[in-house]
Structures are given as structure tokens and as C-alpha cells.
Structure 1
Amino acid sequence: MSQPGTTDSTRRVAIITGAAEGIGRGIALRLAKDGLDLGLFDLPRAETRLQELAETLRKEYGTKVTTVYGDVSKEDDVKRLVETVVQEHGSLYAMIANAGVAINRVLHETPTEELDRLLNINVKGTFFSYKYAAIQLIKQGTGGRILGAASIASKKGIALHSAYCATKFAVRGLTQSAAMDYGKYGITVNAYAPGAIETPLLHGLDEYHTKLNGQPPGTWSNSFSNILGRNGQPEDVAKLVSFLVSDDAAFITGQSYLVDGGTCFD
């Protein structure tokens, strides 16, 4: 949501990790439409997609966009991300710790290196994003917003998702504890918890199940039942993020909100 009365020199700035595709891209499009300037972060291999997104935002919304490349699981990269965006824009208002990965494996068939990858990206990446955003926001002294990417898998265990669920339960714990740590600074900390959203991540998991079970493509990704009878789109999640970074959400903190069409009741 836009901030009435702001000028170009006072436009709020949000960082979005994992911004090149999927939910991250949807969030970037929505926050640009809302009038925020953006720092977009993704892996170097996503440079073409991220630059195309940045150009779209500049042309359609007049957004000031800074693109930064690195790995959220590396603390120095996240520190550099926040420093670069603040240097370019002058301040920070919101951190959207969106980057994440998933695998489908029964627990005893999950390779240790895959467990480490999930922990490094989903847990450490979120921790580092929260950490350096909080340091900057506390320094500024004007409050702000921190958001993390939880999941429906942060609300209940799911078969073949033991490692992934563990990392998303961890995001909920980080979010609740950080909300308690930073409330006195006027910083709210919340998370969004998507269900089945039509993204490259979901399609990659579907491909795995297609090969595993010999089923037609789309069988697994379309197997999730919810009240609304469809999978979500990135913009469905982006609408919630738009609200949580707005002034209208100033009295909400420590929460992880489902965006799942009614698959899971909390």
C-alpha cells in the first residue's frame, strides 16, 4: 500500500531476497505498484531475470531499483546487500526474507548435504536477513518491517517433507522471538505461510514426483485440496505482504499468516 504524503526523497525502501522469480517476483511487482523503492537480491545465475524485472519496475512504476547478487546462506553477502541498498537509497524500511528452497524426501532417504542446504538457505538465510535488517533499522531509529517466508509446512508436518518442515518451523520460531526482541524499536516481524502456489519451485517438486511415480506432469502439484479449489498465484501472497509492510499493519507482529486457499486452519 502506498504511503500518502511521501515524496521521492522519503519513499520507503524494501529489500526482497529471492526476487528473480516466483513469489519474490510477485512481491516486487506489488510493492513497486504500492510506491516503494526496492533492493532486489538473488543468485548470480539469476542476473538476466532479475535485470529484466528491475527494468520492468522502472518503466511501469518509476521505481528506483538496486540489484545485488549473492547467496543468502553467506553472512557477508547479506551484510553487503543491506549496506549496498542503504548506500544507494539512504535508508531501509522493510526486509522481505523470501529466498528459500525445498526438497521432497522421506526422512531416512534425505542426504545430509541436502539437509545442510535447506538449513543454510531457509534458516541461516532468514536469520542473516533478519539480523542485518534489524541492525540497520535500530540504527535509523524510525521503526520498520521485517518479513520472512514461512509455509503451510511451518504449521503442520507433511509427508516427504521432514527436513523442509523443520526449516519452516524454524522460521516461525525466529519470527516470534525477533518480534519480541524488536518491538521496543517500533519494528514489527511477521511471516507469510503459502500453501501450493504456482511457482518454479512448485513445478520443480512436481517434476520430481512425476519421475518418481510415472504420473502425468501436474498430477502432484494439482493434488492439493483447499476450499477455493485452485492453487495460488504469486500475487495472492504479494497482497498479504503489501498489507504487512503498510501502516495498516502497525499493530501486528510475531504472526505467520497462511495463504493457502483454506487448506489448513490455524
Structure 2
Amino acid sequence: MSTAIVTGAGRGIGRAIALRLARDGHAVAVNDVDAESAEAVAKEIGGRSMAVPADVTDRDAVFAMVDAVAGELGSVDVMVANAGIAQVKTLLEVTPDDLRTMFSVNVFGVVYCLQAAATRMITQGGGGKIINAASIAGHAGFSLLGHYSATKFAVRGITQAAAKELAQHQITVNSYCPGIVGTDMWDLIDEKMGGYLGNEKGETLEEFSKLIALGRVQTPDDVAGFVSYLAGPDSNYMTGQSVMIDGGIVMV
């Protein structure tokens, strides 16, 4: 049985991915910085699952997490580096602390997950799948989300480089790029952007949603369905890609 780790899976997109991969037949390790949330989702999954609370910005903790999952569930075959944060600010306002925090989670965390998972997969033999959280903001920079956009552009570059380096081990590396998703993160973006744009709560989300060709806000399950493909055998010949799954906002 394949074993998947999903980071930031205590809620939102990560939770939906964890639940979907479990339905697909994977054993699932649910990671979150909040132990209670991770445990709740693991309990929701039941069966071959476990909660692995850890902070993805702590490299040693990420390696320990991977070791714990391999020890408990037998292997690590899929790593979904989903954990991420956003912050709304103009680039002129961004502080050194803002940059450190944003890059620590969205970039360093992705690299640490990649390093730990790939090291385990190489030792195991037989290949594996590493799946990173990027964003439409990694294909087109968004105003008021400049430093967030920078981290997602970085994830695209890391994904391409890792795909080339790890191909010899039959490890594929791809990223998923969501758009406007109905989650707590987008509630925060709506609220904070509203302050800059003079909008009431909900108005910014409504304005952005008009950009969606399919005419509706994305759900976490929409993202999870694509990650299911990336984690499964049908994507075995796909690597180095950062694919939009956004309802048709950014088309390249």
C-alpha cells in the first residue's frame, strides 16, 4: 500500500487532499503545526492513518516526521508539501520579519519536505511522488501579494530543478497551482485587501471571482481531485510541471 504525507492538512485544502488520498487507497499521515487539528483529521480518516504534528520550518522536525511515518506505516511514497501562508501588504510595507516568515513556510518548508521525502524514497528504491503547493500567484505576480507571489515563483523553480535531479531515482516532482479557493486563507485575503481597496467584507472576493472563467469560487475538493491524479499512476510520465487548477483565471 502506498503511503502519503500531507502537510498543513489540519484544515482547508490540505484536509481535502488527505481525505481524498485516503479514499484513493493510500495510507495517509496527516501533518499540521496544530496537533489537535492533525489528530482530528486523522481520526476522520480512520483506518491506516496517523497524525504527525510538526512545524515544516524546522528541518530536523520534518526529517523526524518522515522517519516516524515510514516506521509506523511502512514507507513514504507520496509527499504533498501543502503547508503555506499568505499575507496582504504592499511591497513597500513588507518587513524583514514578514519576508523571513513567508519564505520559511512557503519555500524552506517545501525544500525540507522534498529533502526528507526524497532521501527516504531513494533509500527505499522504487521511486515516489513529490507534490508541491504553488499558486496562480507563481505564474503571475499579484499586487498586495508580492512577497507571497515571490515564494510561489520559487516553488516553481524548485519543482523544475528537483524533477531533473530526482528523475534518475524515478521520483517525479510536480506542483499544483490553485486560484481563488473558499478557505480561511482567502477569507483573510478578502478582509485585508478590502482595507486597501476600500471594500466591505466579501466585496474583494466577489470582484476577484469575476475573473474565473467557470464562474464559481474553487472548493478544496477541486484541488484535491487534481492532487489525486498527481499522486496516482496516471501521472507517472509527468514531472517538473506546475499546473494551474483555477477555473480559468490564468491561462498560459
**Residue pair 1:222, 1:231 contacting (<8 A) in 2 also:** no
Q: Which amino acid aligns with 2:36?
A: T
Tell me the TM-score normalised to structure 1 length: 0.91
In structure 2, C-alpha distance between the alignment counterparts of 1:231 and 1:105, rounded to whole Å: 23
Q: What residue is the counterpart of 1:26 in the other structure? A: 16
In structure 2, C-alpha distance between the alignment counterparts of 1:98 and 1:64, rounded to whole Å: 20
Q: What residue is the counterpart of 2:175 in the other structure? A: 191
In structure 2, C-alpha distance between the alignment counterparts of 1:163 and 1:130, rounded to whole Å: 22
Q: What residue is the counterpart of 1:133 in the other structure? A: 117
In structure 1, C-alpha distance between the alignment counterparts of 2:149 and 2:224, rounded to whole Å: 22
**Residue pair 2:56, 2:105 contacting (<8 A) in 1 also:** yes
**Residue pair 2:127, 2:169 contacting (<8 A) in 1 also:** yes
**Residue pair 1:72, 1:128 contacting (<8 A) in 2 also:** yes
Q: Which range moves more in the overlay, 212-221 or 163-172?
A: 212-221
1:211 is displaced (CA, Å) by 4.1
SS in 1 for 2:21: helix
Query: After superposition, where does 1:28-67 map in structure 2 within 5 Å?
Result: 28-43=18-33, 46-58=34-46, 63-67=47-51
Cα 1:92/1:33, change in 2 over 3 Å? same
Q: Which amino acid aligns with 2:235?
A: A
1:184 is displaced (CA, Å) by 1.0
Q: What residue is the counterpart of 1:260 in the other structure? A: 246
Residues 141-196 of structure 1: per-residue CA shift (max 9 Å, x gap): 11110000000000011111111111000000000000000111111000000000
Q: Which amino acid aligns with 1:54?
A: A
Q: What residue is the counterpart of 2:219 in the other structure? A: 233
2:2 to 12, 15, 27: 12
In structure 1, C-alpha distance between the alignment counterparts of 2:88 and 2:135, rounded to whole Å: 14
1:115 is displaced (CA, Å) by 0.8
1:212 is displaced (CA, Å) by 4.3
Query: After superposition, where does 1:1-266 map in structure 2 within 5 Å?
Result: 11-43=1-33, 46-58=34-46, 63-224=47-208, 225-266=211-252
Q: Which range moves more in the overlay, 13-22 or 66-75?
A: 66-75
In structure 1, C-alpha distance between the alignment counterparts of 2:119 and 2:87, rounded to whole Å: 32
1:77 is displaced (CA, Å) by 1.0
**Residue pair 1:145, 1:187 contacting (<8 A) in 2 also:** yes
SS in 1 for 2:204: coil
Q: Which amino acid aligns with 1:27?
A: I
Q: Aligned pairs, how many?
A: 250
Residues 97-155 of structure 1: per-residue CA shift (max 9 Å, x gap): 00011111111111210111011110100000000100000001111100000000000
Q: Which amino acid aligns with 1:20?
A: G
Residues 21-77 of structure 1: per-residue CA shift (max 9 Å, x gap): 11100101100110111111111xx2332222111111xxxx311111121111011
In structure 1, C-alpha distance between the alignment counterparts of 2:205 and 2:101, rounded to whole Å: 23
Structure 2 unaligned regions, length at least 5: none
SS in 2 for 1:188: strand
Structure 1 unaligned regions, length at least 5: 1-10
In structure 2, C-alpha distance between the alignment counterparts of 1:182 and 1:88, rounded to whole Å: 25
In structure 2, C-alpha distance between the alignment counterparts of 1:262 and 1:145, rounded to whole Å: 26
RMSD (Å), alpha carbons: 1.1
Tell me the TM-score normalised to structure 2 length: 0.96
Q: Which amino acid aligns with 2:184?
A: P
Of all paired residues, the percent bearing the same amino acid is: 40
In structure 2, C-alpha distance between the alignment counterparts of 1:48 and 1:219, rounded to whole Å: 33
